[in-house]
Structure 1
Amino acid sequence: MRGEAWLFTGTALFFGAATAVYGWLSDEPAGIAALCVSFVMSALVAAFLWRQHRRGGERPEDRADAEVREAAGRRVFFPARSLYPVLTAAGSALVGLGVVQGLWLCLIGFGVLLPGVLGFAFQNLDHPE
Protein backbone atom coordinates (compact mmCIF):
# COMPACT_ATOMS: atom_id res chain seq x y z
CA MET A 1 0.00 0.00 0.00
CA ARG A 2 3.01 2.25 0.17
CA GLY A 3 2.85 3.39 -3.45
CA GLU A 4 -0.84 4.18 -3.25
CA ALA A 5 -0.36 5.99 0.06
CA TRP A 6 2.36 8.20 -1.43
CA LEU A 7 0.16 8.95 -4.43
CA PHE A 8 -2.75 10.16 -2.29
CA THR A 9 -0.42 12.00 0.09
CA GLY A 10 0.95 13.94 -2.88
CA THR A 11 -2.57 14.63 -4.08
CA ALA A 12 -3.58 15.90 -0.64
CA LEU A 13 -0.51 18.15 -0.49
CA PHE A 14 -1.32 19.52 -3.94
CA PHE A 15 -4.91 20.31 -2.98
CA GLY A 16 -3.75 21.84 0.30
CA ALA A 17 -1.32 24.15 -1.50
CA ALA A 18 -3.87 24.96 -4.20
CA THR A 19 -6.44 25.80 -1.52
CA ALA A 20 -4.02 28.13 0.25
CA VAL A 21 -3.01 29.93 -2.95
CA TYR A 22 -6.58 30.15 -4.27
CA GLY A 23 -7.87 31.37 -0.91
CA TRP A 24 -5.19 34.05 -0.80
CA LEU A 25 -5.79 35.26 -4.36
CA SER A 26 -9.56 34.89 -4.59
CA ASP A 27 -12.60 35.81 -2.57
CA GLU A 28 -14.91 33.25 -4.16
CA PRO A 29 -16.22 30.89 -1.45
CA ALA A 30 -17.39 28.11 -3.81
CA GLY A 31 -13.93 27.46 -5.23
CA ILE A 32 -12.34 27.55 -1.80
CA ALA A 33 -14.94 25.11 -0.46
CA ALA A 34 -14.46 22.73 -3.40
CA LEU A 35 -10.69 22.74 -2.95
CA CYS A 36 -11.02 22.22 0.80
CA VAL A 37 -13.31 19.23 0.26
CA SER A 38 -10.87 17.81 -2.31
CA PHE A 39 -8.03 18.20 0.19
CA VAL A 40 -9.98 16.51 2.99
CA MET A 41 -11.11 13.59 0.82
CA SER A 42 -7.63 12.85 -0.53
CA ALA A 43 -6.11 13.26 2.95
CA LEU A 44 -8.62 10.74 4.37
CA VAL A 45 -7.77 8.20 1.67
CA ALA A 46 -4.04 8.78 2.27
CA ALA A 47 -4.46 8.31 6.03
CA PHE A 48 -6.40 5.09 5.48
CA LEU A 49 -3.75 3.72 3.11
CA TRP A 50 -0.90 4.59 5.49
CA ARG A 51 -2.80 2.87 8.30
CA GLN A 52 -3.33 -0.23 6.16
CA HIS A 53 0.36 -0.23 5.23
CA ARG A 54 1.40 -0.11 8.90
CA ARG A 55 -1.15 -2.74 9.85
CA GLY A 56 -0.49 -5.21 7.04
CA GLY A 57 3.20 -4.64 6.42
CA GLU A 58 4.89 -4.58 3.06
CA ARG A 59 3.29 -6.39 0.16
CA PRO A 60 5.26 -7.96 -2.67
CA GLU A 61 4.06 -5.08 -4.86
CA ASP A 62 5.92 -2.65 -2.60
CA ARG A 63 9.33 -4.24 -3.16
CA ALA A 64 11.43 -4.00 -6.32
CA ASP A 65 13.03 -7.44 -5.80
CA ALA A 66 9.74 -9.33 -5.36
CA GLU A 67 8.82 -12.38 -7.41
CA VAL A 68 5.40 -12.95 -8.97
CA ARG A 69 4.85 -16.16 -6.99
CA GLU A 70 5.09 -14.26 -3.70
CA ALA A 71 1.73 -12.67 -4.45
CA ALA A 72 0.05 -15.99 -5.28
CA GLY A 73 -2.77 -17.44 -3.23
CA ARG A 74 -5.87 -16.05 -1.67
CA ARG A 75 -5.28 -12.51 -0.53
CA VAL A 76 -8.62 -10.79 -0.12
CA PHE A 77 -12.21 -11.68 0.60
CA PHE A 78 -15.01 -10.58 -1.72
CA PRO A 79 -18.50 -10.83 -0.23
CA ALA A 80 -21.31 -12.67 -1.93
CA ARG A 81 -24.06 -10.88 -3.83
CA SER A 82 -26.00 -8.43 -1.78
CA LEU A 83 -28.91 -6.04 -2.07
CA TYR A 84 -27.37 -3.60 0.40
CA PRO A 85 -25.74 -1.48 -2.35
CA VAL A 86 -29.14 -0.97 -3.97
CA LEU A 87 -30.71 -0.12 -0.61
CA THR A 88 -27.92 2.34 0.17
CA ALA A 89 -28.19 3.99 -3.25
CA ALA A 90 -31.96 4.34 -2.93
CA GLY A 91 -31.60 5.82 0.55
CA SER A 92 -28.94 8.28 -0.64
CA ALA A 93 -31.15 9.35 -3.54
CA LEU A 94 -34.11 9.86 -1.22
CA VAL A 95 -32.00 11.93 1.18
CA GLY A 96 -30.79 14.06 -1.74
CA LEU A 97 -34.34 14.53 -2.98
CA GLY A 98 -35.46 15.26 0.56
CA VAL A 99 -33.07 18.18 0.76
CA VAL A 100 -34.87 19.69 -2.22
CA GLN A 101 -38.46 18.54 -1.65
CA GLY A 102 -38.88 18.58 2.10
CA LEU A 103 -37.93 17.18 5.47
CA TRP A 104 -40.46 14.35 5.27
CA LEU A 105 -38.71 12.78 2.26
CA CYS A 106 -35.31 13.31 3.87
CA LEU A 107 -36.43 11.41 6.97
CA ILE A 108 -37.75 8.55 4.83
CA GLY A 109 -34.40 8.54 3.01
CA PHE A 110 -32.48 8.23 6.27
CA GLY A 111 -34.79 5.39 7.25
CA VAL A 112 -33.88 3.56 4.03
CA LEU A 113 -30.20 4.54 4.14
CA LEU A 114 -29.49 3.34 7.68
CA PRO A 115 -30.28 -0.38 7.09
CA GLY A 116 -28.26 -0.27 3.85
CA VAL A 117 -25.16 1.12 5.54
CA LEU A 118 -25.49 -1.21 8.53
CA GLY A 119 -25.97 -4.16 6.18
CA PHE A 120 -22.79 -3.20 4.34
CA ALA A 121 -20.88 -2.99 7.60
CA PHE A 122 -22.12 -6.17 9.26
CA GLN A 123 -23.09 -8.59 6.48
CA ASN A 124 -19.91 -10.67 6.73
CA LEU A 125 -19.15 -10.74 10.44
CA ASP A 126 -18.97 -14.51 10.43
CA HIS A 127 -16.18 -14.56 7.84
CA PRO A 128 -12.90 -15.72 9.48
CA GLU A 129 -10.27 -13.12 8.50
Structure 2
Amino acid sequence: MKVEAWLFTGTAAFFAVTSVVYGWFSPDPAGRAALCVSFVMSALIAAFLWRQRVKGGERPEDHKTAEVRDTAGRRLYFPARSFAPVLSAAGSALIGLGVVQGLWLCLVGFGVLLPGVLGFAFQELGHAE
Protein backbone atom coordinates (compact mmCIF):
# COMPACT_ATOMS: atom_id res chain seq x y z
CA MET A 1 0.00 0.00 0.00
CA LYS A 2 3.02 2.24 0.15
CA VAL A 3 2.94 3.29 -3.50
CA GLU A 4 -0.80 3.83 -3.50
CA ALA A 5 -0.63 5.88 -0.29
CA TRP A 6 2.10 8.12 -1.70
CA LEU A 7 0.17 8.51 -4.96
CA PHE A 8 -2.98 9.76 -3.23
CA THR A 9 -0.96 11.90 -0.80
CA GLY A 10 0.64 13.64 -3.78
CA THR A 11 -2.75 14.06 -5.42
CA ALA A 12 -4.17 15.60 -2.25
CA ALA A 13 -1.20 17.98 -2.00
CA PHE A 14 -1.68 18.98 -5.65
CA PHE A 15 -5.35 19.77 -5.10
CA ALA A 16 -4.56 21.68 -1.90
CA VAL A 17 -2.01 23.91 -3.62
CA THR A 18 -4.19 24.31 -6.71
CA SER A 19 -7.25 25.28 -4.68
CA VAL A 20 -5.29 27.93 -2.73
CA VAL A 21 -3.81 29.44 -5.90
CA TYR A 22 -7.14 29.27 -7.73
CA GLY A 23 -8.94 30.82 -4.77
CA TRP A 24 -6.42 33.66 -4.63
CA PHE A 25 -6.67 34.58 -8.33
CA SER A 26 -10.27 33.72 -9.23
CA PRO A 27 -13.54 34.92 -7.76
CA ASP A 28 -15.35 31.81 -9.08
CA PRO A 29 -16.90 29.93 -6.12
CA ALA A 30 -17.76 26.81 -8.14
CA GLY A 31 -14.15 26.15 -9.11
CA ARG A 32 -12.97 26.66 -5.53
CA ALA A 33 -15.63 24.27 -4.26
CA ALA A 34 -14.73 21.62 -6.84
CA LEU A 35 -11.03 21.83 -6.01
CA CYS A 36 -11.70 21.71 -2.27
CA VAL A 37 -13.94 18.65 -2.66
CA SER A 38 -11.27 16.99 -4.81
CA PHE A 39 -8.71 17.68 -2.10
CA VAL A 40 -10.92 16.24 0.62
CA MET A 41 -11.73 13.09 -1.35
CA SER A 42 -8.11 12.35 -2.24
CA ALA A 43 -6.99 13.13 1.32
CA LEU A 44 -9.55 10.67 2.71
CA ILE A 45 -8.32 7.93 0.40
CA ALA A 46 -4.70 8.71 1.30
CA ALA A 47 -5.49 8.59 5.02
CA PHE A 48 -7.27 5.26 4.58
CA LEU A 49 -4.33 3.77 2.66
CA TRP A 50 -1.79 4.98 5.23
CA ARG A 51 -3.93 3.52 8.02
CA GLN A 52 -4.23 0.19 6.21
CA ARG A 53 -0.47 0.08 5.71
CA VAL A 54 0.15 0.65 9.41
CA LYS A 55 -2.57 -1.81 10.42
CA GLY A 56 -1.75 -4.59 7.95
CA GLY A 57 1.99 -4.18 7.60
CA GLU A 58 3.95 -4.16 4.40
CA ARG A 59 2.83 -6.29 1.50
CA PRO A 60 5.19 -8.31 -0.67
CA GLU A 61 4.39 -5.89 -3.51
CA ASP A 62 6.08 -3.11 -1.53
CA HIS A 63 9.49 -4.78 -1.82
CA LYS A 64 11.54 -4.44 -5.00
CA THR A 65 12.94 -7.97 -4.69
CA ALA A 66 9.57 -9.67 -4.07
CA GLU A 67 8.54 -12.69 -6.08
CA VAL A 68 5.17 -14.27 -6.76
CA ARG A 69 5.72 -17.06 -4.25
CA ASP A 70 6.11 -14.49 -1.46
CA THR A 71 2.33 -14.03 -1.40
CA ALA A 72 1.73 -17.68 -0.45
CA GLY A 73 -0.29 -17.99 2.73
CA ARG A 74 -1.90 -14.56 2.44
CA ARG A 75 -5.59 -15.07 1.80
CA LEU A 76 -8.49 -12.72 1.80
CA TYR A 77 -12.08 -13.76 2.18
CA PHE A 78 -14.60 -12.19 -0.17
CA PRO A 79 -18.21 -13.27 0.16
CA ALA A 80 -19.57 -15.08 -2.87
CA ARG A 81 -22.86 -13.20 -2.83
CA SER A 82 -23.48 -9.77 -1.44
CA PHE A 83 -26.42 -7.40 -1.60
CA ALA A 84 -24.24 -4.33 -1.01
CA PRO A 85 -23.23 -3.54 -4.63
CA VAL A 86 -26.81 -3.70 -5.90
CA LEU A 87 -28.19 -1.56 -3.09
CA SER A 88 -25.38 0.98 -3.44
CA ALA A 89 -25.91 1.28 -7.19
CA ALA A 90 -29.68 1.58 -6.84
CA GLY A 91 -29.39 4.12 -4.03
CA SER A 92 -26.90 6.23 -5.99
CA ALA A 93 -29.16 6.18 -9.04
CA LEU A 94 -32.17 7.20 -6.96
CA ILE A 95 -30.22 10.05 -5.36
CA GLY A 96 -29.17 11.26 -8.81
CA LEU A 97 -32.75 11.11 -10.03
CA GLY A 98 -33.93 12.75 -6.84
CA VAL A 99 -31.74 15.78 -7.45
CA VAL A 100 -33.54 16.28 -10.75
CA GLN A 101 -37.07 15.06 -9.94
CA GLY A 102 -37.64 15.99 -6.34
CA LEU A 103 -36.47 15.79 -2.76
CA TRP A 104 -38.71 12.87 -1.88
CA LEU A 105 -36.92 10.60 -4.37
CA CYS A 106 -33.56 11.76 -3.07
CA LEU A 107 -34.59 10.80 0.47
CA VAL A 108 -35.73 7.38 -0.74
CA GLY A 109 -32.33 7.02 -2.44
CA PHE A 110 -30.50 7.74 0.81
CA GLY A 111 -32.68 5.13 2.51
CA VAL A 112 -31.68 2.55 -0.11
CA LEU A 113 -28.01 3.61 -0.16
CA LEU A 114 -27.48 3.35 3.61
CA PRO A 115 -27.86 -0.46 3.88
CA GLY A 116 -25.60 -0.87 0.85
CA VAL A 117 -22.83 1.23 2.37
CA LEU A 118 -23.20 -0.52 5.71
CA GLY A 119 -23.06 -3.87 3.92
CA PHE A 120 -19.76 -2.89 2.30
CA ALA A 121 -18.36 -1.60 5.59
CA PHE A 122 -19.23 -4.54 7.79
CA GLN A 123 -18.81 -7.57 5.55
CA GLU A 124 -15.95 -9.84 6.50
CA LEU A 125 -12.87 -9.04 4.43
CA GLY A 126 -10.19 -10.51 6.67
CA HIS A 127 -11.68 -13.90 7.46
CA ALA A 128 -8.95 -16.07 9.01
CA GLU A 129 -8.73 -19.62 7.78
**TM-score range with shorter-chain normalisation?**
0.7 to 0.9
My pick for the range that moved more, 116-125 or 30-39, is 116-125
- Of all paired residues, the percent bearing the same amino acid is 75
Contact preservation (8 Å) 2:95, 2:107:
yes
| Deviation (angstroms), 1:88 | 1.8
| Deviation (angstroms), 1:20 | 0.9
| Equivalent residues in 2 for 1:1-129, closer than 5 Å | 1-124=1-124, 128-129=127-128
Superposition RMSD in Å: 2.0
Q: Measure the CA separation in 1 of the matches of 2:28 and 2:17.
A: 17
Give the gaps of 5 or more residues in structure 1. Answer: none
Q: 1:32-65, CA deviations, whole angstroms, 9 ceiling, x for partnerless residues?
A: 1111111111111111111011111111111123
Q: Figure out how many residues of one structure are paired with residues of the other and give that number.
A: 128
Question: CA separation of 1:59/1:115 partners in 2, compared to 1, >3 Å: closer, same or farther?
Answer: closer
Contact preservation (8 Å) 2:93, 2:109:
yes
One-letter amino acid of the structure 2 residue matched with residue 93 of structure 1: A
Provide TM-score, normalisation by structure 1. Answer: 0.84
Q: Measure the CA separation in 1 of the matches of 2:24 and 2:90.
A: 40
Give the gaps of 5 or more residues in structure 2. Answer: none
